[in-house]
Chain A
Amino acid sequence: MFSAWELILQQLVNGLILGSFYALVALGYSMVYGIIKLLNFAHGDIYMTGAFICLSVYGAVSGVLPGWTGIAVSVLAAMAVSGLLGFLAQKFAYRPLLSAPRLSLLITAIGVSLVISNTVMVITKSQPLFFTSGLDNSLGIKFGSITVTYIQIIMLAVSAILMISLTLFINRTMMGKAMRAIALDQDTCALVGINVNKIIGLTFVLGSALAAIAGGMACVYYGNVQYNMGYMIGIKAFTAAVIGGIGSVPGAMLGGILLGLLEALGTQFLGSSWKDVFAFGLLILILILRPNGLLGRSEIERM
């Protein structure tokens, strides 16, 4: 039998993995909201597209490049396709509506979401696709009777590297600073020489590529892909973004990890049918206590 600390360790690892998925998807949600105040409901479908491309490409290349090399190539392809898709959605669906009421933009995002998921539904004939990585899922580091697998360790390491890199990017580079400035005042950004549309496009590409990496990791971890898999993670990522403070990059990371951990521990102690109750209960609680999220800033302005 497992001892209590082994169970907790196991759920911590599960929670961190789940939390990494949420965080990687929440980042795109939050960055796009921060910059153009759009709740991009198509973002979960961008994640699904990433998973779908990763699976398809791996199916084609795994004969020559089995294991991690093939997976890396497939994830890169997924990032490229999802990034492009996010960019095109931004350019052709959202940009023309940037000065329209926010509700039009929101409805458009729902439309983009349906177009993407239904396209994949038609391609896959609504059937789930299965992903066989060929990786040995029993190898890992043993802690008592618990094994933390190498797959889990690599996924956690990749997520950590991505989040650190993104943080450095937005804080240290001119483009990252421009991104944060656009969230505050677009006209003034244009006046200092920032090509605002280009930076908005870049934000979509970046957010979509991160979602695609999460999608690729979901392939490896869960082993299947379905056209509607973006729906629930979209809602969860949105929740994570709001918990952390929507528009805040560190907030999205914190919110995602926190939500993942709570769900895993909730599953352990309350049973899996309660985990969503737990997650959304947390959302409501945090919004009552901190309406702007954990790391969000208040909207009170000093004139």
Chain B
Amino acid sequence: MPNDTPLIKVEGLEACYGKVAALGGISFEVREGQIVTLLGSNGAGKSTTLRAISGLLAPSAGRVFFCGEEITKMPPHEIVKRGLAHLPEGRHIFKDLTVLENLELGSYTLKDNNERKRRLNRVFERFPILSKRMKQAGGTLSGGEQQMLAIGRGLMASPKLLLMDEPSMGIAPLIVRDITNIIKTLHDDGTTILLVEQNAKMALGLADYGYVLDTGSIVLEGVGSELLKDEKVVKAYLGG
């Protein structure tokens, strides 16, 4: 892959639910090693964008490229195999399965059991609490622990790109700081991240670049630290 190929490139992406349009043709890209954030209020189309990228939702128009390869019409399980992990909004832990089973399923496409064990150990090093709760049903964890499990499960795929949908949702401010630090370390370890957030302050503090989505269109974009100073963003998303 030549260096100037973005890790993910979205071109004119449109999506609808029945007759209701949710995305009106958006384009953006994420380069290797970046954290890029997608901001917007409720119903702006952030989750829809991620669902259309990861294959859960068939876009009605537009194209998505991952590492230069078109993935627009691929089923989600094929897209994961290529190194793109989508952590859906609301964590979606398999609640009757144990913490260990949840993590193992994160590496479902992997055939090599030794490699699975290595990845498990890395996740347990990162989140020691998960190794303590290994045999417990996922649904019995606290909200913050479930978020760590969701991230851990995503990491089990050893993804090149992580799509994170509101990892701070429903989590106490103190734990949000933990999550922020986790995202930072993931980034330092070389994972590229597309971060969807309503918590614009947190997201822009982390991100290299940001896009602001409003009713299915990108209305603003720019370098993270600059968006943070932008009057419109401050007004709309930071309660300024």
Given A190-B56, A190-B77, A193-B81, A185-B94 contact (CB < 8 Å) = yes
B94: min CB distance to chain A, Å:
5
Cα of A174 to Cα of B100 in the assembled complex, Å:
12
Task: Select which of A184, A187, A189, A192 is within 8 A of B157 by beta carbon.
Answer: A192
Task: Select which of A174, A185, A194 is within 8 A of B77 by beta carbon.
Answer: A194
Cα of A5 to Cα of B150 in the assembled complex, Å:
56
Q: Which of B8-16, B85-93, B201-209, B215-223 contacts A (4 or more CB under 8 A)?
A: B85-93
Q: Which of A63-71, A134-142, A175-183, A237-245 contacts B (4 or more CB under 8 A)?
A: A175-183
User: Is A191's CB within 8 Å of the partner chain B?
Assistant: yes
- Residues from chain A with a CB closer than 8 A to the CB of B88 are 187-188, 191
Mask of B66-83 contacts with A, CB within 8 angstroms, 1/0: 000000000111001100
Given A192-B153, A194-B77, A184-B105 contact (CB < 8 Å) = no
- Most chain A Cβ neighbours within 10 Å, of B95, B105, B157: B105
- Residues from chain A with a CB closer than 8 A to the CB of B101 are 177, 181
Cβ of A188 and Cβ of B94 under 8 Å apart?
yes
Task: Select which of B54, B81, B96, B108 is within 8 A of A180 by beta carbon.
Answer: B96
Cα of A301 to Cα of B93 in the assembled complex, Å:
12
Residues of B in contact with A, size category: 20 to 34
Cβ of B104 and Cβ of A177 under 8 Å apart?
yes
Task: Select which of B56, B75, B108 is within 8 A of A192 by beta carbon.
Answer: B108
- Residues from chain A with a CB closer than 8 A to the CB of B92 are 185, 187-188
- Residues from chain B with a CB closer than 8 A to the CB of A193 are 76-77, 80-81, 108-109, 157
Cβ of B106 and Cβ of A192 under 8 Å apart?
yes
User: Is A302's CB within 8 Å of the partner chain B?
Assistant: yes
User: Is B6's CB within 8 Å of the partner chain A?
Assistant: no
Cβ of A195 and Cβ of B104 under 8 Å apart?
no
Mask of A183-207 contacts with B, CB within 8 angstroms, 1/0: 0110111111111100000000000
User: Is B24's CB within 8 Å of the partner chain A?
Assistant: no
- Residues from chain A with a CB closer than 8 A to the CB of B104 are 174, 177
- Residues from chain A with a CB closer than 8 A to the CB of B25 are none
Cα of A177 to Cα of B96 in the assembled complex, Å:
11
Interface residues of A in 41-96 (CB under 8 A from B): none
User: Is A297's CB within 8 Å of the partner chain B?
Assistant: yes
- Residues from chain A with a CB closer than 8 A to the CB of B95 are 184, 301-302
A301: min CB distance to chain B, Å:
8
Cβ of A190 and Cβ of B55 under 8 Å apart?
yes
Which residue on A lies nearest to B98, using beta carbons?
Answer: A177
Cα of A19 to Cα of B220 in the assembled complex, Å:
66
Interface of A is mostly: helix
Total contacts A to B, CB within 8 angstroms?
64
- Residues from chain A with a CB closer than 8 A to the CB of B105 are 174, 177-178, 181, 189, 192, 194
Cα of A297 to Cα of B139 in the assembled complex, Å:
13
Which residue on A lies nearest to B139, using beta carbons?
Answer: A302
Cα of A191 to Cα of B104 in the assembled complex, Å:
13
Cα of A194 to Cα of B94 in the assembled complex, Å:
13
Cα of A189 to Cα of B153 in the assembled complex, Å:
11
Cα of A175 to Cα of B86 in the assembled complex, Å:
21
- Most chain B Cβ neighbours within 10 Å, of A178, A187, A188: A188
A162: min CB distance to chain B, Å:
23
- Residues from chain A with a CB closer than 8 A to the CB of B157 are 192-193
Cβ of A191 and Cβ of B96 under 8 Å apart?
no
- Residues from chain A with a CB closer than 8 A to the CB of B106 are 192
- Residues from chain B with a CB closer than 8 A to the CB of A191 are 54, 56, 76, 80, 85-86, 88
Q: Please name the 5 residue pairs, one residue from A and one from B, whose CB atoms are nearest each other, closest first.
A: A193-B80, A193-B109, A190-B76, A188-B92, A193-B108
| Seed contacts A190-B56, A195-B77; 13 additional CB < 8 Å A-B pairs | A177-B105, A185-B94, A188-B88, A190-B55, A190-B75, A191-B86, A192-B157, A193-B76, A193-B77, A193-B81, A194-B108, A195-B75, A196-B77
User: What is B's interface to A at a CB cutoff of 8 Å?
Assistant: 54-56, 75-77, 80-81, 85-86, 88, 92, 94-97, 101, 104-106, 108-109, 139, 153, 157
Query: What would be 22 A-B contacts, judged by CB atoms less than 8 Å apart?
Result: A174-B108, A177-B97, A177-B101, A177-B104, A178-B108, A180-B96, A181-B101, A185-B92, A187-B88, A188-B92, A188-B94, A189-B105, A190-B55, A190-B75, A191-B54, A192-B80, A192-B105, A192-B108, A192-B157, A193-B77, A193-B157, A196-B77
